[in-house]
Copies of this chain bind each other. A is one copy, B any other.
Amino acid sequence: MTEAVILVDHGSRAPEAAASLDEMVGLVQKQRPEILVLAAHMEIAPPSIEEALQQCVTQGARRVTVVPYFLAPGRHIAEDIPALVQTAAARHPQTEVHLAPPLGVHTKLAEVILERLEESTKI
């Protein structure tokens, strides 16, 4: 596959956070079987963005897009992730590296919120 996507979340000590990201990677992969889709974490847990990019290149990707799996903008989106992507990309000058915006505001997110509302439990 010549095209790849890296879905990068914050990174957590909680194994269920990484499991959730991996599950999302599986859903995206299913919708785009022609693209290699990998998970990475901004910090705390491996794989890092750099390790995931290396993996993409090893598997033949020529164009890699990093998508921040974050809901909202902030320092991680404006500074930390762009810096990590830039450092990783500098090691692979033959690879075209792109950076996408975070999930941001979207009516589909409002729909998911309304579904979760129905799954609430009493405190």
Q: Is A42 an interface residue (CB 8 A)?
A: no
Instruction: Give A104's nearest chain B residue, CB to CB.
Output: B20
Q: Residues 108-119 of chain A: 1 if any B CB is under 8 Å from the residue's CB, otherwise 0?
A: 111111111101
* Distance of A118 Cα from B107 Cα, bound (Å): 17
Given contacts A14-B75, A71-B71, whether A122 and B100 have CB atoms under 8 Å apart is: no
Contact B99 A119 (CB under 8 A): no
Copies of this chain present in the complex amount to 2
* Distance of A37 Cα from B90 Cα, bound (Å): 45
User: Which residues of chain B have C-beta atoms less than 8 A from A23's C-beta?
Assistant: 105
Q: Residues 12-34 of chain A: 1 if any B CB is under 8 Å from the residue's CB, otherwise 0?
A: 11101100110110011011100
